[in-house]
Structure 1
């Protein structure tokens, strides 16, 4: 972590000095704003945390509730989301507070009566990520995003007691084309109306999204017509796997899932309740917390369940729905307009909570969108970049809805549970689906942001279009063991990672030094073309290198100047750009990720941690062309 770049900084390094000119939550509403975010759930706060770090961007978050969430709703955090949290700087805090899910057990009807454990499987496959799968109250995730916001230069906080009730887009206006109508929900100003104009609006306002309706969007899909209860509780029981994630299927009473929560005692239950009629809604049944408890006790029999305290509960109907498009531009006008209003999270896709993907995919939406908005609003990229958001994330959401549709029916099936390879069907399907539930199967199609696979063979373990799969390295300057992916912060910068051939030691005669010299000095290089005058050389494209030798075999001072750049107000040397392989056989990044040891390669990592392209070290034109399709010339 670097924080003395512009001079000595006392105190907490996570707290930035306040940038001038930014309003505070509760101040009079502005006439104009750069980005208005509707909703302070995980999608909205993930976006806000990215925008808050940029002093040039004025952001406002509006939330109808009168204060932050305290309990309930989502709790599952996939390993992919944990990797994303690392970029924001709070993954370690989440790991300390949360409940780690290492094993999942499956219970079914015994040979005579009652229940018995029929299978147990590892929850996160070995080697799939350095991060665990954890459970944590959604409200704590909100807290951590809001800490990032409060500590950022803009000191951003949500404006509670305000909701979007309408918006209008003027496609001919070049500035602040979205007129937003806000209604106050605070009892002091209940029903009062205010308006402001925004450059961009992002609807993170849930399944009943006003923003979606205002741009003519509709959720399409189906419902399973089955009620499920969810409850956070404190209880005593003789069920052996109370602190394991468990699927429990009784002989003829129903199904439930046990999800142990953080804090050592809290547990969440998902309990199958009743089938609904074709046109019946959950509310029509009038069910409550006692119905959930009674059904859970029947399913657990002969084990006992003595509920001491109900922390939160809800009853819901499974639905799988997706909207046509995640922005306001009609299909026939993509060539002449760019998005001004975008949707994220439940506003554009809904699904059951059984796969634990809702909060994770919602944050994935805005982690994809955030760097694109930053790039456009700071002048680094043309607004046409925003077209890529709907295409990339709708495809990801479509895969989720299809998976969730299938998985919900597996979990809720009443058919006899066939055993194959020693596992009942639900356990077998669970194992097969682990890469998906870990959040690691999203792969963006080739396009402006994702290259074609001609050079994929140079690094077979970094799939183009998938998230960058981190691996251990050792930092040269201070011999610190670390994960390479942990140098990717949520700061809207691209990373260009140079993996050196075996013979290269970083000296002037080697291919890494030759490429670095071109990147630093040639007017055709993307570093020169897309970095504005006065910016640090790594302000837009951060170049780093990984060598095959051990750290004691290389000379830090012999590295190319681009890998020892002078940065910040004082022109201090950045010593953290060069890494070496960990020579332990099981930790060698070149072996782990299938990197060609003879040729080496270039791996471009997008700001959202996805692999944008893989190229040979001498493919300078292709490297320049990749960035030219995304970034503006600013030299």
Structure 2
């Protein structure tokens, strides 16, 4: 963490100096807003948190509730999300309070006594070490709290405006604030009063019954499995031995349970199979009482018993898989192509079962994807066409999620005799671990993603996939750090320059970046801004840190920043002594390579150190010349 470079700080250094709209943020909603976000769930708050790093952008997030969410339905936090939390500065704190999943136990009917269940397998949760971060369970409400704290500490000082319900919107053909949004107050002395605000862009993060989606003529299409589940968060006394492990439980009569321990060491969640639902049930199954859910759970876990002593929350739902026909208002059938003004994300776009723990995790990536792009366009860093990439990138990911969840939820509902092999469920869980963990996302070639011509120079950083961190040693202070952990959600691109063996090529590349009028630094850094305001450029040397002389390192990697123009010593890294070199661990060529990473952690392109023109041309596709 860097601080003091704007002057001595004796208070919490995570609270950044207010700037721009954060200097005098009005309590009431202004009549003109750059970005209006509807809904304060995970998708909405991460979007607001990212935009809070752009102090020139007026962002407001409205929520119809009167205050903070006390309890959320989602609780599974995949490792990719924890990487995201690291970028927003709260991974360590949330890990401390969360439950960590390290194994999953599988229980099935005892062959010798089928009315009883018996443990048949235990599999590691992350058998391949796909992330240095763990798989967590923590209440969605706490995730929202942490993002809101980040936004409140950011330069724009963003907070949620509670007590506003979205009524409708109209998009004008022209005007600086073309989206007229009607809101209704849901609390306070003015409850019931309607008001109209005008926005440049609107983000619908208002759930599966999204009113924003309806307002742009969108719909959710898909199928329903006609299978119901009761879910309960409970405190209970039980003799079930794996009560503090994630479990998939199958009983003789076909009933199943997905059991998930919760944070705090006592609470746990059970998804209890309520069986097939009659096609014309008309929602009657949702009237199933908590007592019936508990009884069904006890029947499934026999010979063990569960004595529920407190119910924190429970619900009944039917499995459905639905995907919206559009992620923004520019993808309406029959209309002429235009730049979008209204965007959808999270459950407003994709709904599915809760079994794979994907809803909140994928929704947050929706929000981060769009958040930095809106910031770039509104601050003039990129042309408006950048916003078209949101739908192009995220709609494919949502479709992949729906397809995966169909397979997983179908397996979870099968009877024991219906499986192709006795170990089919656990085999599927292990073989597909990378997908639910959030690491199968790979954006296709486009303006923000290179074609992969030079992928062989860094095979461990696949273009279009998230940047997988590795251990290095920071040269200036000999501290061992994960290279990717300094990639914070500040809206900057990261450019990692992996040095050649003798350092000649990286010196030549750095000199070009510093001095050539064709370099991205010279072309796209705003006049008067710090040299690293758009691009955070780091050098990674092949040698041990003792063999790297900071006095000979290019000034590109020792930039001056802040009002006192102080040297930033956190840009130069070396191979960690005694461990596998990052060059070997990530398949980086010993001739060197340049790895460009987007603000949302995804690898944008890989180039040789000699490909300077290609680097400049890549950024010219979506950045505005200064």
Q: Same fold (TM over 0.5)?
A: yes
Q: Which residue does the alignment assign to 1:582?
A: 576
Equivalences for 1:441-590 in 2 at 5 Å?
Answer: 441-504=440-503, 510-585=504-579, 587-590=580-583
Distance in 1 (alpha carbons) for counterparts of 2:23 and 2:299: 55
1:218-273 deviation line (CA, Å, top 9, x unaligned): 11101111111111110111111000000000000500011011111110111111
The TM-score, its normalising length taken from structure 2, stands at 0.97
Q: Which residue does the alignment assign to 1:618?
A: 610
Contact 1:106–1:246 (CA<8 Å) still a contact in 2? yes
Q: Which residue does the alignment assign to 1:188?
A: 189
Distance in 2 (alpha carbons) for counterparts of 1:86 and 1:346: 24
Q: Which residue does the alignment assign to 2:92?
A: 92
Q: Which residue does the alignment assign to 1:34?
A: 34
Equivalences for 1:343-422 in 2 at 5 Å?
Answer: 343-414=344-415, 416=417, 418=419
Q: Which residue does the alignment assign to 2:599?
A: 607
Could you tell which deviates more after superposition, 202-211 or 3-12?
A: 3-12
Distance in 1 (alpha carbons) for counterparts of 2:587 and 2:483: 15
Could you tell which deviates more after superposition, 446-455 or 2-11?
A: 2-11
Contact 2:235–2:268 (CA<8 Å) still a contact in 1? yes
Contact 2:41–2:205 (CA<8 Å) still a contact in 1? yes
Q: Which residue does the alignment assign to 2:266?
A: 265
Q: Which residue does the alignment assign to 1:125?
A: 127
- Residue 335 to residue 475, structure 1, CA distance change in 2 (3 Å): farther
Equivalent residue of 1:188, what SS?
A: coil
Contact 1:531–1:540 (CA<8 Å) still a contact in 2? yes
Q: CA deviation at 1:283?
A: 4.2
Contact 1:227–1:272 (CA<8 Å) still a contact in 2? yes
Q: CA deviation at 1:20?
A: 5.8
Q: Which residue does the alignment assign to 2:111?
A: 111
Contact 1:72–1:312 (CA<8 Å) still a contact in 2? no
Equivalences for 1:206-245 in 2 at 5 Å?
Answer: 206-245=207-246
Distance in 2 (alpha carbons) for counterparts of 1:184 and 1:274: 41
1:425-461 deviation line (CA, Å, top 9, x unaligned): 1111111110101110000000000001111111111
* Matching of residue 139 in structure 1 with residue 141 in structure 2: yes
1:65-107 deviation line (CA, Å, top 9, x unaligned): 1111112300000010011111000001111110000000000
Contact 1:473–1:481 (CA<8 Å) still a contact in 2? yes
1:541-571 deviation line (CA, Å, top 9, x unaligned): 1111100100011111210011111111111
1:375-407 deviation line (CA, Å, top 9, x unaligned): 111110011100000010000000000111111
The TM-score, its normalising length taken from structure 1, stands at 0.96
* Matching of residue 437 in structure 1 with residue 436 in structure 2: yes
Distance in 1 (alpha carbons) for counterparts of 2:290 and 2:271: 12
Q: Which residue does the alignment assign to 2:169?
A: 167
1:144-189 deviation line (CA, Å, top 9, x unaligned): 011111112222211111111100111322x111000001111633
Contact 1:22–1:58 (CA<8 Å) still a contact in 2? no
Q: Which residue does the alignment assign to 2:298?
A: 297
- Residue 11 to residue 407, structure 1, CA distance change in 2 (3 Å): same
Q: Which runs of 5+ in 1 are unaligned?
A: 505-509
Contact 2:170–2:180 (CA<8 Å) still a contact in 1? yes
Contact 2:25–2:157 (CA<8 Å) still a contact in 1? no
Distance in 2 (alpha carbons) for counterparts of 1:58 and 1:611: 29
- Cα RMSD (Å) of the superposition? 1.6
How many residues align structurally? 624
1:586-625 deviation line (CA, Å, top 9, x unaligned): x32111101111x110000011000000001000111001
Equivalent residue of 2:141, what SS?
A: helix
Distance in 2 (alpha carbons) for counterparts of 1:278 and 1:419: 27
Distance in 2 (alpha carbons) for counterparts of 1:331 and 1:525: 39
Q: Which residue does the alignment assign to 2:3?
A: 3
* Matching of residue 628 in structure 1 with residue 607 in structure 2: no
Distance in 2 (alpha carbons) for counterparts of 1:246 and 1:625: 51
Could you tell which deviates more after superposition, 100-109 or 274-283?
A: 274-283
Q: Which runs of 5+ in 2 are unaligned?
A: none
Q: Which residue does the alignment assign to 1:149?
A: 151
Q: Which residue does the alignment assign to 2:65?
A: 65
Contact 1:38–1:44 (CA<8 Å) still a contact in 2? yes
